[in-house]
Amino acid sequence: MMLLEAIILTVITASTPLLIAALGELVVEKSGVLNLGVEGMMIMGAACGIAAAIFTGSSAAGVLAAILAGMAMAALFGALTLGLAANQVAAGLALAIFGLGLSGMVGAGFVGAQRAGIGKIEVPLLSDIPLLGPVLFNQDPFVYASFALVFLVARFLNRTKAGLVLRACGENHAAAHALGYPVLRIRFLAVLFGGACAGLAGAYMSLVLTPFWSSGMTGGRGWIALAIVVFASWLPGRAAVGAYLFGGITILQLHAQGAGLRVPPQLMSALPYLITIVVLVLIMRLRRGGAAGPASLGVPFVPDR
């Protein structure tokens, strides 16, 4: 029972940053914008979060700094792709590379510096229930926030007029513009939301998961978050399933190495990324080569002047 509890808890901690980042990117892509710079925004959130937390002595300040850093990177991407109609794929890749380099400079003075992690929220009485108590009722605020985000994003996209307008911009931006909706403004706000979520996911990496800074600590999680959006067919509920699936694979390969399985450790470390590729290929084949994403995804929009 204790081993099962430990495995479930580690799966939750590994899956939370994937889920938060994937939900942000899902909203961005629903608006018709493809931002491949999630990795860069996450690592900047991690660097700025730990730097602000150590400098101010406040974890809340660290979380706020991480969110603002992610939004600043997203604003740069939005200025290039929405303001200047630059290629979204190229701009996203450049953003990821830029974020990895800039985060190394920001976090250079904090390498090896540690601070106490963010405490957990314990629900009285319920947290004492065997197995379910520690798993469901004794978690850090980021875990509860990720669950709330799934519900809020799903409700926003499917039950509100603003969500319907955002989806319309992603499906047919010309029609949305003809109806009088500010397509570029809506997409820019969606991009900022995606950056905020990526920054928050980065803050989780440096303030909760491993409460210290090291260069490249996101370890490709931004790219997995992008894959989760496709895996989920752009649905928030499925994104939660995908995040926990890939998080579970990451943790199980660590437990397999600890159990002494005679498998090369390099192969076990690459397993989550290999499975990501296999799952994406299977999804595309099941869809017969078609994608279920927004029709205008990645297509630049330049309004008539």
pLDDT tens, position by position, 21-65: 999 999 999 999 999 999 999 999 999 999 999 999 899 999 999
Domain membership of residue 46 (yes or no) is yes
Closest CA to 18 of 243, 293, 270, 265: 243
Highest mean pLDDT among 103-107, 129-133, 153-157, 286-290: 153-157
Domain membership of residue 281 (yes or no) is yes
pLDDT for the residue numbered 7 = 83
Q: How many domains in the chain?
A: 1
Q: Is pLDDT above 90 for 251?
A: no
Q: What is the mean pLDDT of the chain?
A: 88
Q: Is 260 exposed, middle or buried (0-12, 13-18, 19+ CB in 10 A)?
A: exposed
CA angle at 164 for the pair 161 and 170, rounded to the nearest 5°: 150
Domain membership of residue 97 (yes or no) is yes
pLDDT for the residue numbered 118 = 81
DSSP-assigned beta bridge partners for residue 121: 139
Q: Is pLDDT above 80 for 288?
A: no
Domain membership of residue 298 (yes or no) is no
Q: Is pLDDT above 80 for 262?
A: no
DSSP-assigned beta bridge partners for residue 25: none
CB atoms within 10 A of CB 217: 20
Question: Residue 255 sits in a domain of what CATH number?
Answer: 1.10.3470
Closest CA to 254 of 234, 240, 277, 272: 272
CA angle at 113 for the pair 112 and 114, rounded to the nearest 5°: 110
Domain assignment of residue 18, given as a range: 2-286
Residue 125: which region, alpha, beta or left (left: phi > 0; alpha: psi -120 to 50)?
Answer: left
Domain membership of residue 294 (yes or no) is no
pLDDT for the residue numbered 259 = 66
Question: What percent of the chain stands above pLDDT 90?
Answer: 60
> For the CA atoms of 17, 20, 22, 28, what is the dihedral angle to 10 degrees?
-140
Q: Greatest CA separation found in the chain?
A: 65
Q: Is pLDDT above 60 for 179?
A: yes
Q: Which one has a higher pLDDT value, 136 or 162?
A: 162
CA angle at 44 for the pair 237 and 238, rounded to the nearest 5°: 10
Domain membership of residue 304 (yes or no) is no
Query: pTM of this prediction?
Result: 0.92
Domain membership of residue 254 (yes or no) is yes
Residues 6 or more apart whose CB falls under 8 angstroms from that of 51 comprise 62, 65, 106, 107, 109, 110, 213
Domain membership of residue 300 (yes or no) is no
